[in-house]
Structure 1
């Protein structure tokens, strides 16, 4: 009787474990074939039908910015004439301030929120703390100082080695804070003689409206010692770079892309202004020639 009870308990535990592990209860049955990421072929008469169970992971940049048009005039422009301006905020150390100073900051922030009638987004971004520049400055300082004694030189070299190892073994991250302002411009409300003038007026109107909102935040938060600075085209590109390359940015730094001319339309050596203007004229003539040929083909 005891053996029977023990056998029943063992069977119950076995079934319970298989259910938890999502495995087949009967050991001679195979598991369901996992099709994720595997392309199978099966015969159907004389035809081969490809069965793809897994789907490709979507590109996050295309999914989030599939309707983006350009980054121009320190703004992100979308296809529906929506414009976005980003400002970086330098915060204060709130918790080291006194009670009266904290209340003053709260009142300033609440006053700014109460006087605006348009949406503002807050964006926080964690970035890897890069110590390469301070380390390089320390190394250059040591090389330039000729009156350093041996002990100071050894201490500096040891400090540089320790900082380099510490950064590689224990990466640290800092939080960057941004304010995002956006507006949509309706081109039908703007009077212009041609398309080029309309384009300029749309950009000008969007910039004036967003810059006014940014200045309102800057002037209001200045009373709380909170600095607000508009991001340029390069600054916006840097924010996007760190947003979509958080791990790669540890080694592939954004500043290196600029130094290596990866942000330039044409990678060339230093040229004088006359040669640059000549190349621009040649490009413009070539573009006009191609457009005329395209018009002739359409006419024929």
Structure 2
């Protein structure tokens, strides 16, 4: 008998699923044939991750670097209407002033307080003015909190801003490839830190401060992105400790050069902030002077008919 469906029609047979045909097996993969993490990063265009930056392929002779900064969160329900309106206006000013490519991504992560609680547990044993009973009670309370955190899954949303900077060949000069490579990273770091510093100066006033991620922070975000389930159970810090990996951040420039760049960026940011405040005060004074003279400065239609091409006589005839 031939298999038929409810409508009486013959069910088509698939040769691949037919029990008469023997299954085809690919060659078994051995340990050496597995794809490594570095190979996956190369496939998605990542060249290197160091100095707190991710370098991507561009397809041309330029170098593309990306830096991530975590954006602090604020609860709008705890603010007044005036504070919420001010925060929205500041956010609007920030987005309207974005000149370089910018991406915003969110990630749901488990609330992790293990390091904080362990440090608090250690400090509780050396508090002045406490006795053995108080120290024992504090240790037990913190230990119960650690056990509760491990047994309970609590998640929160993390927001990250991705800043991008491109370094072209005409921006760097050097006699050796090592010097050119050093200048490329210095130039990329300078551009990215300047962008983050400017964004932080604006977003901080809206209760959204920015915290740039170092190299380990970038690895942690990637680890939680591609290991959604296992990252909840095993922290990246524990993986590093167990495997005895060594992760560190560094830079090619010396301390004097790095500090000088930081000071220059800070001075430029302060100058922009001072100029912004000065222009705001000047605008307020001009507005007050216009109001004093009876002028309507906030009207969208100016009263200077002679400087306008609009036919106001025809408009007045309608009234």
State if a TM-score over 0.5 links the two structures. yes
2:172–2:180: 8 Å Cα contact kept in structure 1?
A: yes
Q: Out of 252-261 and 95-104, give the one that drifted further.
A: 252-261
* Alignment partner, residue 79 of structure 1: 57
Cα deviation, 1:205-234, whole Å, max 9, x if unaligned, reads 111111111111011112223211111111
Task: After TM superposition, give the deviation of residue 147 of structure 1 in Å.
Answer: 7.0
* Alignment partner, residue 316 of structure 2: none
2:45 counterpart of 1:67: yes
CA distance in 2, matches of 1:102, 1:180: 25
* Alignment partner, residue 89 of structure 2: 107
Cα deviation, 1:127-153, whole Å, max 9, x if unaligned, reads 112354466467657877997798x89
CA distance in 2, matches of 1:213, 1:142: 41
* Alignment partner, residue 235 of structure 1: 217
CA distance in 2, matches of 1:142, 1:210: 40
* Alignment partner, residue 191 of structure 2: 209
| TM-score, normalised relative to structure 2 | 0.57
1:86–1:236: 8 Å Cα contact kept in structure 2?
A: yes
2:149 counterpart of 1:171: no
* Alignment counterpart, residue 192 of structure 1, candidates 174, 197, 205: 174
CA distance in 2, matches of 1:196, 1:142: 49
Q: Out of 226-235 and 94-103, give the one that drifted further.
A: 226-235
What is the CA RMSD across the aligned residues, in angstroms? 4.0
Task: After TM superposition, give the deviation of residue 172 of structure 1 in Å.
Answer: 1.5
* Alignment partner, residue 245 of structure 2: 262
- The structure carrying a bigger strand percent of its residues is 1
1:257–1:263: 8 Å Cα contact kept in structure 2?
A: no
5+ residue gaps, structure 2, are 27-34, 249-319
The count of residues paired between Structure 1 and Structure 2 equals 228
1:77–1:83: 8 Å Cα contact kept in structure 2?
A: yes
| TM-score, normalised relative to structure 1 | 0.61
CA distance in 2, matches of 1:33, 1:148: 79
2:234 counterpart of 1:252: yes
2:216–2:247: 8 Å Cα contact kept in structure 1?
A: no
Q: Out of 72-81 and 214-223, give the one that drifted further.
A: 72-81
1:85–1:210: 8 Å Cα contact kept in structure 2?
A: yes
**Within 5 Å, which residues of 2 pair with 1:1-300?**
32=14, 50=24, 62=40, 66-80=44-58, 81-133=63-115, 136=118, 163=145, 166-167=148-149, 170-260=152-242, 261-264=244-247
2:111–2:154: 8 Å Cα contact kept in structure 1?
A: yes
2:70–2:211: 8 Å Cα contact kept in structure 1?
A: yes
Task: After TM superposition, give the deviation of residue 114 of structure 1 in Å.
Answer: 1.5
